[in-house]
Amino acid sequence: MPRRPIPDLADVPQHVIQRGNDRQPCFYVTDGYHRYLAGLSGSAIRYGCSIRVYVLMTNHVHWRVTPSSAGAVSRMMRWVGHP
């Protein structure tokens, strides 16, 4: 059964979880965390999203993001995945 669509509305905070494939590690060295945050920051600015809280763990990431326009979170996620 497919997932229900997630509302992606302007100015509505969203909880985003990004996991590694099969829950494998996303980060292997400390520099990986810094590079991820730099990419995330750039994409948030590029697509008008405000990230208030984030947690980086070895095999997944949580963040609370508030988009300034509808669809901004999905555009930001695509850019984070493939800068």
- The neighbour count for residue 64, using CB atoms within 10 Å, is 14
- Annotated domain spans of the chain: 14-81
Sheet of 60-67, strand order: 14-19, 60-67, 49-56
Q: What are 18's two structure tokens? A: 């990004």
Q: What is the CATH number of domain 14-81?
A: 3.30.70.1290
> What is the rounded CA–CA span in Å between residue 67 and residue 50?
6
Look at 14-23, 50-59, 61-70, 74-83 and tell me which has the smallest mean pLDDT: 74-83
Mean pLDDT of 58-79: 93
- Residue 83's pLDDT band, with cuts at 50, 70 and 90, is low
**pLDDT tens-digit profile of 5-22?**
777 889 999 999 999 889
Q: What is the pTM of this model?
A: 0.82
**pLDDT tens-digit profile of 33-45?**
999 999 999 999 9
